[in-house]
A and B are shown apart, each in its own frame.
Chain A
Amino acid sequence: MRFLFGLTVILALLLGASVSAQTEPPVTDSVADSVEVPAIPPPAPVTDLKALDTDDDHGHSVTLTWTKSVDAQTGQNTVNGHQIFRWYPAMMDSLAGVDSLKNMRQDIQRAQSANSVFRRALGVAEDALEDLTSGGRGFDALRFTVATPQDDSTFVLDRAFVEQALRDTVATMTTHLPLLPDSIKGLQASFEAAIERLTEAHQAYPEGGSWNLVGLAAKGDTSFVNSGNKDPMSGDFIKDFTDLYYRVDVVTIDETIRTESAIVGPVQSEGQWFNGGRFPVFWAVIIFGFLTMYFVSRARKGDDLYVRPLAGIEAVDDAIGRATEMGRPILYVLGLGTAADVATIASFTVLGRVAKQVAEYQTELIVPTYDPIVMSVAQEVVKSSYLDAGRPDDYKENTVFFVTNLQFAYVAAVNGIMLRELPATNIYMGKFFAESLLLAETGALAGSIQIAGTDEIAQIPFFIVACDYTLIGEELYAASAYLGREPILLGSLKAQDWAKAAVIVLGIVGLVAANLEWGFAKTFLEYFHVTN
């Protein structure tokens, strides 16, 4: 019963709240310039206050800088911290600017959740009423929890009462529910209109409006970033291209004793089109892109690019031969990566090579997958490898199949395959996590030859212990270039090596720079400093 009464009351309150405008007294800031005899003398204000749009960002943010008050850590040393204030306009006639926006936002969210809660509650009430009147369920089965009043007076919950209450609830809800979406829309529209007028309202400075605290800074700080939200609906929104005014107060331990700075403004926030803090990455992209293209084009021209042999890669060919001799299948595990993980993409190339040889030798291939998109790609890869090998008819659609999207269920299934199909060779290439050891150990116990390759550093030790050959980190990518047997793929390996050589050279130069304090050293280290 309480539930029903409560629901009706909440309904009425909410509807009332969301439809009628709220009037709240304007917020006055607590600057106590009327304090009479301060125990602590007021500190000197901060000077040189500057406000600029925050650089290298998406907008909605302003950076303030200042020179410390002479009483901060020096002088009288009375400064305990800084309080940063921003001027908020009084936008609507009787409302204090941004506070009214906050209220409207909350109203919208409240009304939206009420909408779905009420819909569900209405369903429950309707069902209950129908059951009660049709006799589908007994009165007892409705299971109302009735709280007994404290004073021990008898509280009779009779059937007619419940029925009437249910009927009332359904009636109230059905009349008010259709109104809710409209009131949400109304609220939304007035909210959007208010946001629209925000820029204009700021131009009224200093008429009306009020100073609101937007942040704190420690006593040693000389800067503050007032970072707003870009979404008007969520939290502190700062509108771009709008005049903002700031003030920084120094406060003492007694917060009523404070000194205001001069006011800065107007300042406007805006988004930038280039992030200067990422220049080091920018140059790396250009240089690395150029290196790769250069070596790829050299490979295309037919230059012979030497690549040293890798034991794990040569083992792949031997393993396929061994499987053929034994008449047993090859298990290829692509790991838990998605089709977007670069390790998985490298693994696809290796799979293509393996599948082609498997098709030539007419061995069986088993590829259980963890991700459905990886499955579709792997099917495509294996299918075209069979086509390349000239045996499209031998390709079976179920060579590559999906198991499940849960890590350990996948492990259970693959372990089962290892023990039942007894593959001659297990190949693990791609991204692996905690399951690496479960897979590799089961495979080792089943007596298969195992070749693994992953870029997950934490899993490499387990593969090294349990597998016959392990491609460590970058070797996986080398393998994909190497096994793809296309010279242009090898071109990029050369670029990678050049980049590593560059690391070594830069490392030595940087080391010298870090140890000897040359003038150039500092700038050199700056080149590698990525901000933002």
Chain B
Amino acid sequence: MKRQVPLVLVLLFGLFMIFQYFVPHESSEWVYEFLLDWIYIIGIFALALGIWSLYVVSVDKVKTRKHDWGYSYVTLAGLFGMILFGFTARHGDEWGWYLIFVACVLLTVIMSVQAMAARINKGLPLGLAGLFLLGAVLIAVFDDTWSFYFYTQEGLQSTMFRAFFDYIMMPILATIFSLLAFFIASAAYRAFRARNLLASLLLIAALIVMMRFFPYFGENVGEFIARVSSWLMNVPNLAAQRAIIIGVGLGIVATALKVILGIERGYMGKG
């Protein structure tokens, strides 16, 4: 039961998808579209698993006092702060006690994690957590410059949610992406110390293509390099890509077939 049912499901759905590819009829299309929706919806449920894992690992780091455990609080604060912003919004331009409320909630989380991690003296963090929780509840009840939104999307448009997205997520994301420029420089340096024939071939091709962007060669040489590099991109590149694509395609097809037939079941664990 534990192993057979999933394998039968894989076989059934796999065969159906192969089958539907050849059946253009509306009814097969109908099931196909629903199946794709299902996968998408199940994926959203899975996010909860991920958040749980992130929480558990962070708390665990604090508990075991693994090195850099203090930063786990930063992760937890970012996580709970952002979730809170996604479900609350201010009514107007007044801030009221909103930020203090957020701080109280975050401190409650941090103190309860602290209480979980503490071996002795659990009382102090626990008491503080209770205190902060009380503060948060009181503010939530009496402050009406903002409120919770559990069933409309105000949270997504709230100032803080947007601010965290625009001024924390996006800058870090763009910066890490731009680190690629430095890393590619060091990778290029690594490639320069070509150790063998294959690495040299790679290096020469890379140099030719890169030289196309340098304006120092004069018109004739520049023109020649541009032509060679575009030939490299269009001809040998095309050939090698095609060989890889055919290979990868066969690999994917064979693996998919093994999965459908239940020959490859490594992904399912054994227990």
Asked if A and B touch directly (CB within 8 angstroms), the answer is: yes
Interface mask (A47-60 → B, CB under 8 Å = 1, otherwise 0): 00000000011110
Residues of chain A contacted by B251 (CB below 8 angstroms): 342, 346, 455, 473-474, 476-478, 496
A405, B250: Cβ atoms closer than 8 Å: no
Tell me the smallest distance from the CB of B64 to a CB of chain A, in Å.
10
Residues of chain A contacted by B42 (CB below 8 angstroms): 373
A473, B258: Cβ atoms closer than 8 Å: no
B54, A402: Cβ atoms closer than 8 Å: yes
Interface stretch among A107-115, A174-182, A284-292, A515-523?
A: A284-292
Closest to B190 in A: A465
Confirm or deny: A271 has a beta carbon within 8 angstroms of a beta carbon on chain B: yes
Confirm or deny: A424 has a beta carbon within 8 angstroms of a beta carbon on chain B: no
Residues of chain A contacted by B177 (CB below 8 angstroms): 408, 434
Interface mask (B171-197 → A, CB under 8 Å = 1, otherwise 0): 011001101100110111011000000
A412, B172: Cβ atoms closer than 8 Å: yes
Interface stretch among B108-116, B130-138, B222-230, B239-247?
A: B239-247
B264, A376: Cβ atoms closer than 8 Å: no
Interface stretch among A26-34, A196-204, A437-445?
A: A437-445
A401, B264: Cβ atoms closer than 8 Å: no
Confirm or deny: B9 has a beta carbon within 8 angstroms of a beta carbon on chain A: no
B187, A405: Cβ atoms closer than 8 Å: no
Residues of chain B contacted by A143 (CB below 8 angstroms): 92
A500, B23: Cβ atoms closer than 8 Å: no
Contacts of A282-338 to chain B: CB distance below 8 A:
282, 285, 288-289, 292-293, 296, 338
B172, A474: Cβ atoms closer than 8 Å: no
A408, B186: Cβ atoms closer than 8 Å: no
Residues of chain B contacted by A352 (CB below 8 angstroms): 266
Cross-chain contact of A380 among B18, B53, B268 (Cβ < 8 A)? B268
B271, A455: Cβ atoms closer than 8 Å: no
B22, A274: Cβ atoms closer than 8 Å: yes
Bound complex: CA A457 to CA B246 (Å): 12
Tell me the smallest distance from the CB of B267 to a CB of chain A, in Å.
4
Confirm or deny: B47 has a beta carbon within 8 angstroms of a beta carbon on chain A: yes
Bound complex: CA A383 to CA B255 (Å): 23
A56, B47: Cβ atoms closer than 8 Å: no
A278, B258: Cβ atoms closer than 8 Å: no
Confirm or deny: B219 has a beta carbon within 8 angstroms of a beta carbon on chain A: no
Residues of chain B contacted by A289 (CB below 8 angstroms): 257
Confirm or deny: B254 has a beta carbon within 8 angstroms of a beta carbon on chain A: yes
Interface residues on chain A, number (Cβ under 8 Å): 95
Contacts of A463-501 to chain B: CB distance below 8 A:
464-466, 472-474, 476-478, 480, 484, 488-489, 492-493, 495-496, 499-500
Bound complex: CA A278 to CA B48 (Å): 41
B259, A345: Cβ atoms closer than 8 Å: yes
Residues of chain A contacted by B244 (CB below 8 angstroms): 457, 460, 472-474
Residues of chain A contacted by B269 (CB below 8 angstroms): 377, 380-381, 383-384
B183, A438: Cβ atoms closer than 8 Å: yes
Closest to A291 in B: B254
Confirm or deny: A462 has a beta carbon within 8 angstroms of a beta carbon on chain B: yes
Confirm or deny: B50 has a beta carbon within 8 angstroms of a beta carbon on chain A: yes
Contacts of B141-185 to chain A: CB distance below 8 A:
144, 152, 169, 172-173, 176-177, 179-180, 183-184
B25, A272: Cβ atoms closer than 8 Å: yes
A496, B190: Cβ atoms closer than 8 Å: no
Bound complex: CA A143 to CA B92 (Å): 9
B256, A342: Cβ atoms closer than 8 Å: yes
Q: A59-B26, A349-B266, A377-B267 are in contact. Are A411 and B176 (CB under 8 A)?
A: yes
B24, A57: Cβ atoms closer than 8 Å: yes
Residues of chain A contacted by B46 (CB below 8 angstroms): 371-373, 376
Contacts of B50-64 to chain A: CB distance below 8 A:
50-51, 53-54, 56-57, 60
Tell me the smallest distance from the CB of A214 to a CB of chain B, in Å.
21
Tell me the smallest distance from the CB of B103 to a CB of chain A, in Å.
24
Residues of chain B contacted by A440 (CB below 8 angstroms): 187
State the total of A-B contacts with C-beta under 8 angstroms. Answer: 217
B248, A462: Cβ atoms closer than 8 Å: no
Residues of chain B contacted by A372 (CB below 8 angstroms): 46-50, 53
Bound complex: CA A305 to CA B191 (Å): 37
Residues of chain B contacted by A293 (CB below 8 angstroms): 261
Confirm or deny: B119 has a beta carbon within 8 angstroms of a beta carbon on chain A: no
Closest to A379 in B: B269
Cross-chain contact of A462 among B91, B187, B246 (Cβ < 8 A)? B187
Contacts of A342-384 to chain B: CB distance below 8 A:
342-343, 345-346, 348-349, 352, 371-373, 375-377, 380-381, 383-384
Confirm or deny: B43 has a beta carbon within 8 angstroms of a beta carbon on chain A: yes
Q: A434-B177, A457-B244 are in contact. Are A384 and B256 (CB under 8 A)?
A: no
B24, A271: Cβ atoms closer than 8 Å: yes
Bound complex: CA A45 to CA B191 (Å): 68
Residues of chain B contacted by A405 (CB below 8 angstroms): 47, 50
Residues on A lying within 8 angstroms of B by beta carbon are 56-59, 120, 127, 136-137, 141, 143, 230, 240, 271-275, 278, 281-282, 285, 288-289, 292-293, 296, 338-340, 342-343, 345-346, 348-349, 352, 371-373, 375-377, 380-381, 383-384, 387-388, 397-398, 401-406, 408-409, 411-412, 420, 434, 437-438, 440-442, 444-445, 455, 457, 460-462, 464-466, 472-474, 476-478, 480, 484, 488-489, 492-493, 495-496, 499-500, 503, 532
Known: A342-B251, A376-B46, A401-B57. 17 other contacts (CB 8 A): A141-B94, A272-B25, A274-B23, A275-B22, A292-B258, A376-B49, A377-B267, A380-B271, A383-B271, A384-B270, A398-B57, A398-B60, A402-B51, A406-B169, A438-B180, A480-B266, A484-B264
A/B interface sample: 20 pairs, CB < 8 A = A273-B25, A288-B257, A296-B261, A296-B263, A345-B266, A375-B49, A380-B268, A401-B54, A403-B54, A406-B173, A444-B190, A457-B244, A461-B202, A477-B248, A480-B266, A484-B264, A489-B258, A489-B263, A500-B250, A532-B24
User: What are the 8 closest A-B residue pairs judged by CB atoms, nearest first?
Assistant: A477-B251, A380-B269, A372-B50, A474-B247, A384-B270, A349-B266, A402-B50, A402-B53
